[in-house]
């Protein structure tokens, strides 16, 4: 085995000029105004990084109005140094008597307060779309609704700010207060920790045949440890032991990435020059890689995988405005004031948001407990989880008498009473009479529903078991990174599943705990949150496995799937969006093998971070893990 097997420069078709990826810039309105046929227009000199969307925001006109005045943009696209005309819009004082072009979507279940409407959602909304439909100020909406995340769910009540309304008013459609947007203003959303990107996809983020015809230069900086290659024994007797060797650790990432390269170049005609450089932990290797990149500039860098070497290459990428992808880091700091960095590992804020979504959608009446590892040092993470759960879990839930009767019937069967029903049953400290429930089947029963945060001490686990409800689901959210913590929970709580409905949600990455007893996980309907998950029932996954075996004569492991996903997603993004690829990633969703990429920003000047967590659960029928999809592909 030689180094040539690993260091590959793939040149396909003609060599293209390097393309630098431009970050979005703030548009400065032109002061040059001309008058044509009695109408006034700005003459705007287009700067690099400006888009139709950013121009429309700056000049308060629609993208369609700009395209109508400049029809050549439909063919050429918006390019730097162009001079285009933009209609001059003179703001007028609002006339209250003028009827609105649209009305607020008020329903008969809504109530009016002083300066707001209490709206009950009839469907799942993206929060950005909701405030747009109502025509209200998003900052004010979020101030009134601190627990609302990126989505609003069916049955959820929200306060919609509508100035001029008062409690007792008759509910009729009210004209919305127009929101006049000034020049671009950066707003951070405190409830999610994310900077809200524009909801409408910019014109540059539609696939272009012109971009597809270009040649792209990509560098994969992967730790292959070529200097150690002579020490590696690859005989069949030693193959199992060498799987954990650092020489082989990231080899499958490289192989998976190359599977994506081969598919795109051979079947889709992508023009690509790929440089693979062996970069390990040391800074010297990263500096050598930077020198190589100076002589051969690229449009995209993937890696390095380790923090010290990544910092060196990141500085170079920032200086030259090159998109750089970090596939492995969990550190938020790599995004700070680094608008060209793409971080693939999702953060805890996104995990908490997805957890809240799942609880609202699938466990709206559950009794929720957060159980934290005693030695857990991630106090900031725990605080985020606890704060999110307290904002999500309703302080009071209601069950119908019919639901209670059904539960009593199940408990009677569990006690082998046949068709005979228990006359009374104690539930959450209250005693209920079967006869009284039967007399009022349409009645409702209310239960207090405090969210508890406990430690993994013996006394706290006992407190959790003593507080279990037989009438509704008991959701145990367990946060800890030690297998002893996970084993303690399973061993102590498993027996309670014989009497109480319990769902265990393990955070984060409990898939790394290989020695947990599957029977206990099944009993507790275990749910996992993970940054990646491979569904071997998926036909596309099975095809990849077959192709990988045929090409490399071994089974693909976790890094092989991740390597393919990175290559397939980012090379496709380059092929479709060219120099605008970085700006278009938040709007680009592509089916992948082991995860999905949903990118967002923490700040306007930060890089992009994946916010998607894979959620999957043990299926008691098939006794295997299956993905849980909270949204349809259309919603995502």
- At 386-426, the pLDDT tens digits run 988 988 898 888 888 988 898 888 888 888 888 889 999 88
Q: Is the same domain home to 499 and 585?
A: no
Q: Are residues 156 and 58 in the same domain?
A: no
pLDDT of residue 487: 92
Is the pTM higher than 0.75? The answer reads no
SS (H, E, C) 220-260: EEECCCHHHHHHCCCCCCCHHHHCCCHHHHCHHHHHHHHHH
Task: Tell me: do 327 and 356 sit in the same domain.
Answer: no
**Residues of the chain with confidence (pLDDT) below 70:** 1-26, 37, 90-105, 108-109, 114, 146-147, 149, 153-155, 165-199, 228-247, 375-377, 631-636
Residue 245: the pLDDT is 57
* CB-based contact 153:109 (threshold 8 Å): no
424-427 and 430-433 beta bridge pairing: antiparallel
CATH number of the structural domain spanning residue 334: 3.40.50.2300
**Both 552 and 598 in a single domain?**
yes
Q: What is the rounded CA–CA span in Å between residue 35 and residue 307? A: 57
One DSSP character per residue, 134-157 reads: HT--HHHHHHH-TT--SEE-TT-E
Q: What is the pLDDT of residue 515?
A: 80
pLDDT score of 92: 39
**Looking at residue 451, what is its pLDDT?**
92
93 within domain boundaries: no
Domain boundary among 530, 550, 570: 530
Close Cβ partners of 582 (under 8 Å, ≥ 6 residues apart): 21, 23, 323, 339, 340, 342, 608
Cα–Cα distance list, 14 to 214, 217, 220, 263, 322 (Å): 9, 12, 20, 19, 21
The answer to whether residues 369 and 516 belong to one domain is yes
**509 and 372 within one domain:** yes
For residue 427, being part of any structural domain is answered with no
- For residues 150 and 353, is the Cβ–Cβ distance under 8 A? yes
382 and 487 housed in the same domain = yes
Q: Which of 475, 501, 530 is the last residue of a domain?
A: 530
621 domain residue, yes or no: no
On whether both 333 and 227 belong to a single domain, the answer is: yes
Cα–Cα distance, 376 to 243 (Å, whole number): 31
Shared domain for 367 and 509, answered yes or no, is yes
CA atoms of 117 and 110, how far apart (whole Å): 7
Specify if 325 maps to a domain: yes
pLDDT at 147: 61
Please check whether residue 356 lies inside any domain of the structure.
yes
Host domain of residue 80? 33-87
Q: Is residue 557 part of a domain?
A: yes
Does a structural domain hold residue 193? no
The answer to the question of residue 158 being in a domain is yes
Task: Tell me how many helices (H) and strands (E) the chain has.
Answer: 21, 29
> In the chain, how many domains are there?
4
Interatomic CA distance for residues 65 and 57, integer angstroms: 12
Q: Are residues 361 and 484 in the same domain?
A: yes
* CATH number of domain containing 68: 3.10.350.10
User: Residue 255 has what pLDDT?
Assistant: 96
Nearest to 154 by CA among 449, 360, 395: 360
pLDDT at 194: 56
Same domain for 374 and 509, yes or no, is yes
Closest CA to 623 of 534, 506, 519, 513: 519
- Same domain (yes/no): 72, 169: no
């Amino acid at each position: 085995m030689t180094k040539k097997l690993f260091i590959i420069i793939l040149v396909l078709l003609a060599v293209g000029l390097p393309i630098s990826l431009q970050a979005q810039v703030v548009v400065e309105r032109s002061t040059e105004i001309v008058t044509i046929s009695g109408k006034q227009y700005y003459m705007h000199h287009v700067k690099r990084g400006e888009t139709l969307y950013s121009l429309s925001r700056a000049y308060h006109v629609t993208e369609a109005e700009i395209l109508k005045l400049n029809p050549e943009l439909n063919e050429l696209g918006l390019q730097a140094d162009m001079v285009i005309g933009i209609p001059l819009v003179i703001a007028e004082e609002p006339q209250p008597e003028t009827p609105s072009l649209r009305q607020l979507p008020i329903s008969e279940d809504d109530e009016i307060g002083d300066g707001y409407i209490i709206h009950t959602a009839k469907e799942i909304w993206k929060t950005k779309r909701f405030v747009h439909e109502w025509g209200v100020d998003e900052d004010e909406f979020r101030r009134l609704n601190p627990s609302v995340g990126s989505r609003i769910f069916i049955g959820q009540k929200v306060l919609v700010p509508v100035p001029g309304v008062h409690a007792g008013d008759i509910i009729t459609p009210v004209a919305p207060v127009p929101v006049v947007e000034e020049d671009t203003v950066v707003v951070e959303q405190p409830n999610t920790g994310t900077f809200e990107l524009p909801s409408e996809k910019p014109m540059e983020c539609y696939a272009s045949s012109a971009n597809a015809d270009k040649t792209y230069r990509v560098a994969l900086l992967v730790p292959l440890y070529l200097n150690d290659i002579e020490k590696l024994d690859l005989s069949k007797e030693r193959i199992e032991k060498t799987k954990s060797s650092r020489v082989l650790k990231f080899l499958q990432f490289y192989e998976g990435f190359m599977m994506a390269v081969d598919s795109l170049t051979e079947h889709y005609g992508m023009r690509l020059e790929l440089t693979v450089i062996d970069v390990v932990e040391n800074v010297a290797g990263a500096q050598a890689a930077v020198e190589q990149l100076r002589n051969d500039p690229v449009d995209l860098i993937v890696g390095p995988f380790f923090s010290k070497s990544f910092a060196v290459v990141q500085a170079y990428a920032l200086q030259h405005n090159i998109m750089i992808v970090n596939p492995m880091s969990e550190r938020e700091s790599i995004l700070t004031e680094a608008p060209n960095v793409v971080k693939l590992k999702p953060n805890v804020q996104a995990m908490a948001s997805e957890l809240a979504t799942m609880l609202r959608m699938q466990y709206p009446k559950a009794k929720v407990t957060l159980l934290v590892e005693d030695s857990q040092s991630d106090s900031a993470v725990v605080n985020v989880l606890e704060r999110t759960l307290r904002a999500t879990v309703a302080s009071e839930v209601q069950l119908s008498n019919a639901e209670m009767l059904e539960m009593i019937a199940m408990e009677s069967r569990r006690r082998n009473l046949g068709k005979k029903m228990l006359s009374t049953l104690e539930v959450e400290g209250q005693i209920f009479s079967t006869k009284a429930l039967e007399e009022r089947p349409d009645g409702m029963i209310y239960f207090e529903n405090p969210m508890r945060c406990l430690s993994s001490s013996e006394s706290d686990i006992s407190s959790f078991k003593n507080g279990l409800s037989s009438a509704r689901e008991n959701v145990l959210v367990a946060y800890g990174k030690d297998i002893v913590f996970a084993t303690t929970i399973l061993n102590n709580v498993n027996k309670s599943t014989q009497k109480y409905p319990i769902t265990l949600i393990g955070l984060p990455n409990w898939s790394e705990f290989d020695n947990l007893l599957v029977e206990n996980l099944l009993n507790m309907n275990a749910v996992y949150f993970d940054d990646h998950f491979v569904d071997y029932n998926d036909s596309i996954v099975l095809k990849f496995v077959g192709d990988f075996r045929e090409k490399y004569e071994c089974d693909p492991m976790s890094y092989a799937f991740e390597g393919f996903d990175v290559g397939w997603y980012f090379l496709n993004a380059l092929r479709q969006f060219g120099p605008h690829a970085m700006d278009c990633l938040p709007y680009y969703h592509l089916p992948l093998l082991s995860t999905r990429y949903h990118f967002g920003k923490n700040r306007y000047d930060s890089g992009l971070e994946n916010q998607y967590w894979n959620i999957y659960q043990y299926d008691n029928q098939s006794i295997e893990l299956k993905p849980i999809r909270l949204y349809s592909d259309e919603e995502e």
